[in-house]
Structure 1
Amino acid sequence: MESFAKLITIDRSSPVPLYFQFAQQLQKLIETGVLPPGTRLSNEVALADQFGLSRPTMRQAMQHLVDKGLLARKRGVGTQVVTNRIRRQVEFTSLYDDLEREERRPRTEVLSLGTLPAGAEVAAALRLDEGTEVLALERLRFADDEPIALMRNHLPASLIELSSQTLAEAGLYQLLRRSGIGLSTARQTIGARRATAAEAQLLGESRGATLLTMARTAYDGSGEPVEYGVHVYRASRYSFEMTVAAH
């Protein structure tokens, strides 16, 4: 019998679908650490029998958690709990700082770094004339040695000197702060789209997988733009959270 069996209860009188009741409770056990990453689960047939559910219902519950990135099916191994999903508050922080705070061992692979003429979108965000030279960088960010985000950033060319080594050792916002560049506010837009073949390969996702997107322009204390970033995140491993207030 699974060790967590007594922690899950199915209410057949509830209007909530049975598969969702099971999936929601199993998700809570994963997110609270009761079932840590690497935990192996019994096969769906055994779980269905154990909890008195039909096999299609159990299959739907397990697939729901696979789709959310909490479980993974591995041939020859079975179903396992995977690394906890990263949840990030929608606020003015850097991904590197957030991962360090959560002890998720951030690591950066610098894919490109150099100057190029600003296109219309970048020029507008940085309030520059189109064609002005800007510093462009592309990085792949890892959490616990798993790729989590692909980040493309543009900055005014004269703002700061960066190297692949310094970008691999610290977050961009950390480097800006160390150079005496204060960041005050940011304007950002969050969305979603399908991964390109290249993005899917870098992020370890299937082609066409859903990616979360964030476009952000950061400003200094005087209101001047200092950085424009367009990032994509694995929706199966990452989510944004926000707190809203009623008025």
Structure 2
Amino acid sequence: MASLPPRADLARSQLVALLGQLSEGDALPGERELAEQFGVSRMTLRRAVDELALDGTLERRPGAGTFVSRSRMTRRIAMTSFSDDMRRRGLQPETRVLSFATRRANRVSAHRLRIPVGDSIVAFDRLRSASGEPLAVETTMIAAALVPGLREDDLSTSWYELLADRWGIIIDRAGLEMEAVLPRPEILSQLGIDAAQPCIQLKVTSLDRNGRVVEVGRSVYRGDRYSLGAELIGPPDHSVQQTNAPRTSKGER
């Protein structure tokens, strides 16, 4: 990134000093007020604000203003539960069941769960919070035959722990699709965010050790509170084998 002109760089330093007096989520004073306070033009101030918005220090919300960014929690893409993740951060995981129903699988849900059309499935939505702050809405579907006796009041704890402890079901691996979304109005309300706030949506198909589909689900995480991280491992080093391998004729791979 190119360096700022001296006046914009000074305004940036003054902004950073001001942020030290504010808390996460606080709104900045208006552009005109700040420009007058720092003795710079509004264009110069805007350059400084742009710089801090690009590095994530500030957050612009259309129609609302500019705010001190809230720190994001990095969610590792791994087979861990929301409850375990929050406890490791020293936060208290909380769950509120939004809906719970048993119904017959239609063609789409039967295909995703790999069960016959018409089989009974359990579907539920949960609001996941940490120390009182809503963070995600989770939707889950599972074949009812896998979880006999499952009740709504069972769902106030870790779902993976419940599967393992009561029915001996161990989630071994999962397929994952991830995308940025603007959530539906009901999810906006449940998460307490405005319509301009993007979220991270994960679609998951979880399997047990025998390759059987256990559940399919969708989780919508607040984009202002979450980022996603993963560890990427390079391919094996075959240099030794390749060095000692016999030469191949032209055209072979």
Same fold (TM over 0.5): yes
Pair 1:130-2:117 in alignment: yes
Q: Distance in 1 between matches of 2:85 and 2:175?
A: 18
AA matched with 2:137: L
Q: Distance in 2 between matches of 1:196 and 1:111?
A: 15
* TM-score, normalised relative to structure 2: 0.71
Q: Distance in 2 between matches of 1:130 and 1:208?
A: 38
Pair 1:58-2:48 in alignment: yes
Q: Distance in 2 between matches of 1:37 and 1:236?
A: 15
Q: What is the match of residue 198 of structure 1?
A: 186
> Structure 2 vs 1, CA of residues 199 and 42 (structure 1 numbering), >3 Å: closer, same or farther?
closer
Q: What is the match of residue 156 of structure 1?
A: 143
Runs of 5+ in structure 1 lacking a partner? 1-9
1:118 offset after TM fit, Å? 1.8
> Structure 2 vs 1, CA of residues 190 and 38 (structure 1 numbering), >3 Å: closer, same or farther?
closer
Pair 1:94-2:84 in alignment: no
1:237 offset after TM fit, Å? 1.3
1:154 offset after TM fit, Å? 0.7
> Structure 2 vs 1, CA of residues 42 and 223 (structure 1 numbering), >3 Å: closer, same or farther?
closer
Q: Which has the larger radius of gyration?
A: 2
Runs of 5+ in structure 2 lacking a partner? 236-253
AA matched with 1:214: L
Q: Distance in 2 between matches of 1:37 and 1:176?
A: 40
> Structure 2 vs 1, CA of residues 59 and 230 (structure 1 numbering), >3 Å: closer, same or farther?
same
Q: Distance in 1 between matches of 2:35 and 2:199?
A: 34
Can you list the C-alpha shifts for 1:156-206, whole angstroms capped at 9, x where unaligned?
1022233333312x1111111212211111111111222111111111122
Pair 1:231-2:219 in alignment: yes
Are the counterparts in 2 of residues 99 and 106 from structure 1 also a CA contact under 8 Å?
yes
SS for the counterpart of 2:214 is: strand
Are the counterparts in 2 of residues 188 and 215 from structure 1 also a CA contact under 8 Å?
yes
Pair 1:221-2:214 in alignment: no
Are the counterparts in 1 of residues 205 and 216 from structure 2 also a CA contact under 8 Å?
yes
Aligned identity (percent) is 26
AA matched with 1:89: R
Count of paired positions:
218
Are the counterparts in 2 of residues 48 and 54 from structure 1 also a CA contact under 8 Å?
no
Q: Distance in 2 between matches of 1:37 and 1:139?
A: 30
> Structure 2 vs 1, CA of residues 158 and 47 (structure 1 numbering), >3 Å: closer, same or farther?
farther
AA matched with 1:190: M
Q: What is the match of residue 238 of structure 2?
A: none
* TM-score, normalised relative to structure 1: 0.72
Of the structure 1 ranges 138-147 and 118-127, higher mean CA displacement relative to structure 2 is found in: 118-127
> Structure 2 vs 1, CA of residues 106 and 37 (structure 1 numbering), >3 Å: closer, same or farther?
farther
AA matched with 1:226: V
Pair 1:207-2:195 in alignment: yes
Q: What is the match of residue 159 of structure 2?
A: 172
Q: Distance in 1 between matches of 2:196 and 2:69?
A: 24
